[in-house]
């Protein structure tokens, strides 16, 4: 390896990008630059949830104690009994509870701004955070005559450029790293000597996964003052103390308490969907605002608790068209890798988008750090033998090949897990809006052979039991998030390192 440090560029300064930087900071002799497109570092004000699997990463990085000062959740591990998620059939004047999610791990809820600030507080002083730097594209030499030492050239929207040895794309749903990576990978599959193939490549459609696709869903997010809701309901509203999800045909509302600084707030999430639009492309803006009155009209006729939440909303709430990335056949190409939404933007119905970005970044950067540190150790040991001048180039070529192998291992370990979570989240979204996963409406009129008593909650008869059966299916598809005894991030890291070192596992 050469004496110059390994240069790592992270495009995107959100949760995935910052976790990547913190993970890399555990390893010496790395030059890390984070490029963020925004003019100032900030996140949209909304709640975020972290399940036990990704929370284990937070603990490993040593930022758990500071984050716990930002939440109202009792973070005692192994018990979720103090704050179960309560599900209510709510698209009617008199709603009823039909299920309590019996998870065995605490969902840590935080305000997104607080979470990001803790990450920024821990950002290594030796690393550089560049604002107003949106990647336009990158370029790698791919010809056989090109040395493996060739750097990756980054081209930014402002006309500037930079170089790196490894590029991590954490630049979100509209990732330009992803678009370029898929084009580069497809280009590599064509024979450069075949002019007709080259012409077909340039005239063909963009690679699958380049563009986000619309799910047909729209999400509305805001914060409700806990004091206002308490005053409006004489302190009786369920969302003041617990997670509540109000489900109905084609829509749902989720509400739960969070803190921001010293303020007590209720995170409010509403969702509506047109399933006939799933898989289409949107032409207009995907982010905007909606009025409080629009939400009140949307949930007119629903039970009173939903109306009370809507009445306490601010005059304007944030509005997103929920778009996803189609399942990619790879998260990597050469020394370029995708993490988080850039790799697998998913629906929010398992509360796992941020957690998956955390797991991606941690595993990827642990592998990169392992390669860099082991190569540094090898170089330090061999340097005492005064190697010939050519050995330095050979060693550098070797570390770049090792990095390609590390990224390939990351893809093999993380991609199936992340894409499984994305599919489970999609299924949850359909169940929460009273659909089967094949698109049919739930048949709530049929008779249930089971007792209508559901986890001790108020019963709606056969309909309640049918809904509870659906939630049992959702729960089984969600258990990966909290049942960490057999499947956990530590196990994934050990597996990945064994694969990289070709050790039996």
Domain assignments of the chain as residue spans, ordered by start: 6-42+110-210+328-424
pLDDT tens string 425-476? 999 999 999 999 988 999 887 655 554 434 434 445 689 999 999 999 998 8
Q: Is residue 372 within 8 Å of residue 399, measured between CB atoms?
A: yes
Q: Is residue 107 within 8 Å of residue 254, measured between CB atoms?
A: no
Q: Is residue 273 within 8 Å of residue 265, measured between CB atoms?
A: no
388 by Cβ neighbours in 10 Å (0-12 / 13-18 / 19+) ranks as exposed
pLDDT of residue 453: 39
Largest CA distance in the chain: 82
From 89-98, 199-208, 445-454, the region with the lowest mean pLDDT? 445-454
Mean pLDDT of 39-58: 80
Whether the per-residue pLDDT at 93 is higher than 50: the answer is: yes
When pLDDT is cut at 50, 70 and 90, the band that residue 159 belongs to is very high
pLDDT of residue 7: 97
pLDDT of residue 454: 42
pLDDT of residue 284: 82
Q: Which residues contact 358 (CB under 8 A, 6 or more apart)?
A: 15, 16, 19, 50, 54, 57, 58
Q: How far apart are CA 439 and CA 215, in angstroms?
A: 13
Whether the per-residue pLDDT at 191 is higher than 80: the answer is: no
When pLDDT is cut at 50, 70 and 90, the band that residue 92 belongs to is very high
Q: Which residues contact 17 (CB under 8 A, 6 or more apart)?
A: 10, 11, 34, 36, 168, 170, 171, 339, 340, 361
Mean pLDDT of 103-128: 87
Q: How far apart are CA 432 and CA 308, in angstroms?
A: 21
pLDDT tens string 353-386? 999 999 999 999 999 999 999 876 555 544 444 4
Mean pLDDT of 385-391: 43
E-only strand ranges, 51-146: 85-89, 96-101, 108-111, 128-130, 135-139
Mean pLDDT of 241-245: 92
Give the residue among 357, 366, 323 at the shortest CA–CA distance from 338: 357
pLDDT of residue 193: 45
pLDDT of residue 49: 85
3-state DSSP assignment of residue 394: helix
pLDDT of residue 387: 44
pLDDT of residue 197: 54
> 133 — phi, psi (to 5°)?
-125, 90
Q: Is residue 430 within 8 Å of residue 438, measured between CB atoms?
A: no
Mean pLDDT of 146-150: 57
pLDDT of residue 255: 96
pLDDT of residue 76: 54
Mean pLDDT of 203-218: 86
Give the residue among 326, 34, 400, 336 at the shortest CA–CA distance from 184: 336
When pLDDT is cut at 50, 70 and 90, the band that residue 1 belongs to is very low
Whether the per-residue pLDDT at 94 is higher than 80: the answer is: yes
Give the residue among 92, 109, 48 at the shortest CA–CA distance from 306: 92
pLDDT of residue 461: 62
3-state DSSP assignment of residue 364: helix
pLDDT of residue 35: 98
Whether the per-residue pLDDT at 231 is higher than 80: the answer is: yes
pTM for the model: 0.88
HSE of 88 in the Cβ direction (CA atoms, 13 Å)? 25
Q: Does domain 6-42+110-210+328-424 have CATH number 3.50.50.60?
A: yes
Number of Cβ within a 10 Å radius of residue 204: 9
When pLDDT is cut at 50, 70 and 90, the band that residue 389 belongs to is very low
């Amino acid at each position: 390896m050469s004496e110059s440090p390994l240069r790592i560029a992270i495009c995107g300064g959100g949760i995935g990008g910052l976790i990547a930087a913190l993970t890399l900071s555990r390893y010496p002799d790395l030059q890390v630059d984070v490029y963020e497109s925004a003019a100032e570092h900030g996140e949209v004000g909304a709640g975020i949830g972290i399940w036990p699997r990704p929370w284990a990463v937070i603990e490993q990085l040593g930022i758990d104690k500071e984050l716990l000062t930002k939440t109202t959740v009792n973070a005692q591990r192994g018990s979720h009994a103090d704050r179960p998620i309560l599900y209510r059939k709510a698209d009617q004047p008199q709603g009823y509870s039909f299920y309590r999610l019996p998870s065995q791990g605490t969902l840590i809820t935080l305000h997104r701004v607080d979470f990001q600030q803790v990450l920024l507080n821990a950002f290594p002083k030796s690393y550089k955070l560049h604002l107003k730097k949106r990647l336009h594209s990158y370029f790698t030499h791919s010809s056989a005559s090109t040395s493996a030492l060739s750097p990756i050239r980054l081209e930014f929207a402002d006309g500037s450029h930079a170089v790196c040895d490894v590029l991590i794309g954490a630049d979100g749903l509209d990732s330009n790293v992803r678009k370029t990576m898929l084009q580069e990978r497809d280009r590599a599959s064509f024979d450069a000597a075949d002019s007709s193939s080259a012409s077909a490549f340039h005239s063909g459609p963009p690679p699958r996964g380049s563009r986000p696709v619309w799910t047909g869903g729209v999400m509305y997010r805001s914060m409700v003052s806990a004091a206002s809701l308490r005053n409006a309901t004489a302190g009786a509203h369920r969302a003041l103390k617990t997670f509540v999800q109000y489900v109905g045909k084609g829509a749902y509302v989720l509400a739960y308490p969070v803190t921001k600084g010293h303020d007590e707030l209720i995170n409010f999430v509403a969702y509506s969907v047109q399933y006939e639009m799933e898989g289409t492309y949107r032409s207009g803006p995907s982010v905007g605002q909606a009025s409080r009155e629009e939400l009140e009209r949307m949930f007119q006729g629903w039970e009173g608790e939903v109306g009370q939440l809507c009445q306490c909303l601010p005059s304007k709430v944030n509005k997103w068209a929920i778009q996803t990335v189609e399942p990619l056949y790879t998260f990597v190409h050469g020394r370029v890798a995708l993490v988080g939404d850039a790799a697998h933007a998913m629906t929010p119905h398992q509360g796992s988008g941020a957690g998956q970005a955390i797991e991606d970044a941690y595993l990827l950067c642990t592998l990169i750090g392992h390669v860099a540190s082991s190569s540094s150790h090898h170089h330090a040991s061999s340097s005492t033998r005064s190697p010939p001048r050519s050995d330095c180039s050979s060693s550098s070529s070797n570390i770049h090949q090792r990095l390609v192998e590390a990224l390939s291992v990351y893809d093999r370990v993380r991609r199936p897990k992340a894409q499984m979570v994305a599919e489970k989240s999609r299924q949850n979204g359909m169940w929460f809006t009273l659909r089967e996963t094949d698109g049919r409406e739930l048949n709530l009129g049929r008779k249930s052979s089971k007792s209508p008593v559901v986890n001790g909650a108020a019963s709606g008869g056969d309909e309640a039991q049918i809904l509870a059966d659906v939630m049992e299916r959702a729960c089984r598809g969600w258990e990966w998030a909290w049942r960490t005894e057999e499947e956990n991030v530590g196990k994934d890291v050990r597996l990945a390192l064994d694969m990289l070192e070709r050790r039996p596992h």
